[in-house]
Chain A
């Protein structure tokens, strides 16, 4: 009897221990599972405050009239209808499109050329690489002020040099004529973005095995053929990624360079949809209209982003 009691007591103790172990184990697992979220939480909270809340709030405002504060009332999609039907919408969309396409083409082109040059071994390569990456580190506002002075019609160094070399008898209206103002502002944007593209292409070039080039050489390929049949296919993934990133940045953020140099002028020549959104909000006090434009920009940028994420996901699943 006693031994039976003892045995059942031992069994109960073993069972309790197992339950306790299991509880501890599940608790540990739970805690382990929560750790990544705990690390993500501060960033998420910061993003929620400075990014998600303003974004959602702006979308909500886009359905309200342009009155400020409590006077604003719900008007449904009227702001969107007015924006799309306005006479300026096709113009700013066209400008935004040219801006984006121009940025993508020139950033990818220059970045690839510079990356190919910097990939070669030559004395002082580290220093040259650092110099080429410098524009990325220069603050946009400082760069805008410097470029603005360089382009200045009366006192700018570019007009001085053009005159000194004898390239043109008249001064160039870098920022005071259309479309030269568009190209001039675009040059600043490209100058700022090229270092990023160069870094991506340099990284891409280093992933192409040298055996491919050796095999191409054995097959009789010259430098141009090797570039066409080995380098370009090897950089396809980087090019697609870079194209999408530059497109997202150029379209959605086409503001800083433009605002610093021309504020959308002359006569709307450099007015992109983002600049228009700013003007609607802060110059005309049309908060609802500006928010509707912002929502349209968001929607279009999300299209690019979805393509980018799809690509990243596809690349990830192929590994």
Chain B
């Protein structure tokens, strides 16, 4: 029966290349103006529409500030888009709630080996079924501005001590220059959590491990101590939006920034001179681990053009387009071993991201991904108490451990 279904889908795919089915594929997303990924996705749209002249991809740009609310409202009200966009914890929530279609048969028909995906792709899978596929993995490495380092007589940081030394030396209040930048504005829990994750995971810490709270592990406390020191000594810009300090980094006002490779595209667009001085090294913290944010695409249940949407996703996953995503989007694509050696020769800084992408842990709370948004809210409040209310890192860690333990007990 399964083989028959797969054959039917394969036949359907074959038909799409010869016979028109005139689908108007709804793909609203914030990715359509993502500085790194948008050009690659627009190329995908062009390629797909050329290969399927009767189909049209309706690439509606939704600002990221409202995107998640709108997508959730559309899906929960039975008016879903044909292609949905998700981050790690969100994709898990959608899958757990049974809101996404399985892509198994489409992947089988397109001949895409499920073992070829990056490790974090497992978040888009449940009980052996694939519900969402990764577009890019934004593993975190430490970007730095070589010019600022040279002027300050600094070497790229190799450990926490040299990292802190660089953060202090690069701080120049008169020039409004900072050594490092990370979340320091209250409110946006999800984004703040993503931003501080490289520090926490870099130390080998984490707020959840194997489904259990681990907020007061020595590694997590050590990471929180460094974070608090950076904040208290004003070595990071305080109370500034993420977009603003990213711009500051792109204009040479911040010396170091732990981010995904997408930031290279942001810097290149903002300031070509700073881009020339852009370098990246693995996170210089004692845990020798890193964290990633994976962008997933999936087909919500009730999508009107399911087959055509799947055809777009399968086109994206083809080898040639995986390379294009890396070339145009400056990001590691969803499938491994897709980048030739020449690509690394042309983009030497990308090497740090290849190893990071293949070993990175997802930023979603490990083993409790489906409760990600609630856990992230609890953690963010705890961290805000530490930064803005004067709680010590130890008090913060213990309080978080208690709250997370209570929370997870209600879910079991």
The minimal Cβ–Cβ distance linking B244 to chain A, given in whole angstroms, is 8
Q: Which residues of B contact A282 (CB under 8 A)?
A: 68-69, 72-73
Tell me, in angstroms, the Cα distance from A178 to B186 when the chains sit together.
11
Do B377 and A267 have beta carbons less than 8 Å apart? no
Do B237 and A69 have beta carbons less than 8 Å apart? no
Nearest-neighbor residue (CB-CB) of B410 within chain A: A82
Residue from A154, A262, A267 in contact with B385 in the complex, judged by beta carbons closer than 8 Å: A267
Tell me, in angstroms, the Cα distance from A50 to B381 when the chains sit together.
34
Task: Choose the segment among A15-23, A230-238, A283-291 that binds chain B (4+ C-beta atoms closer than 8 Å).
Answer: A283-291
Q: Is B39 an interface residue (CB 8 A)?
A: no
Residue from A174, A262, A284 in contact with B374 in the complex, judged by beta carbons closer than 8 Å: A284
Q: Is B11 an interface residue (CB 8 A)?
A: no
Q: Which residues of A contact B76 (CB under 8 A)?
A: 68-69, 285, 287
Q: Is B160 an interface residue (CB 8 A)?
A: no
The minimal Cβ–Cβ distance linking A73 to chain B, given in whole angstroms, is 13
Q: Which residues of B contact A153 (CB under 8 A)?
A: 238-240
Do B377 and A285 have beta carbons less than 8 Å apart? no
Nearest-neighbor residue (CB-CB) of B391 within chain A: A267
The minimal Cβ–Cβ distance linking B130 to chain A, given in whole angstroms, is 21
Within 8 A of A (CB), among B376-410: 377, 380-382, 384-385, 387-389
Within 8 A of B (CB), among A222-276: 261-269
Do B239 and A175 have beta carbons less than 8 Å apart? yes
Secondary structure type dominating chain B contacts: helix
Tell me, in angstroms, the Cα distance from A174 to B387 when the chains sit together.
14
Nearest-neighbor residue (CB-CB) of A271 within chain B: B381
- Interface size class on chain A is 20 to 34
Q: Is A67 an interface residue (CB 8 A)?
A: yes
Within 8 A of A (CB), among B219-245: 237-240
Do B389 and A267 have beta carbons less than 8 Å apart? yes
Q: Which residues of A contact B187 (CB under 8 A)?
A: 261-266
Q: Which residues of A contact B166 (CB under 8 A)?
A: none
Q: Which residues of A contact B385 (CB under 8 A)?
A: 266-267
Do A265 and B186 have beta carbons less than 8 Å apart? yes
Q: Is A181 an interface residue (CB 8 A)?
A: yes
Encode B183-227 as 1/0 by CB contact (under 8 A) with A: 011111110000000000000000000000000000000000000
Task: Choose the segment among B20-28, B52-60, B92-100, B285-293 that binds chain A (4+ C-beta atoms closer than 8 Å).
Answer: B92-100
Q: Is B75 an interface residue (CB 8 A)?
A: yes
Q: Is A176 an interface residue (CB 8 A)?
A: yes
Q: Is B78 an interface residue (CB 8 A)?
A: yes
Do B388 and A173 have beta carbons less than 8 Å apart? yes
Do A181 and B68 have beta carbons less than 8 Å apart? no
Q: Which residues of B contact A287 (CB under 8 A)?
A: 76
Report which A residues bind B (CB closer than 8 A): 67-69, 71, 151-155, 173-178, 181, 261-269, 279, 281-285, 287
Contacts A/B (CB < 8 Å), 7 sampled: A71-B98, A154-B239, A154-B240, A181-B186, A266-B388, A282-B73, A285-B93
Known pairs A71-B98, A178-B389 / 4 extra A-B pairs, C-beta < 8 Å = A154-B176, A261-B187, A263-B186, A284-B374
Q: Which 7 A-B pairs have the closest CB atoms?
A: A265-B186, A263-B187, A266-B186, A153-B239, A267-B384, A265-B187, A266-B388
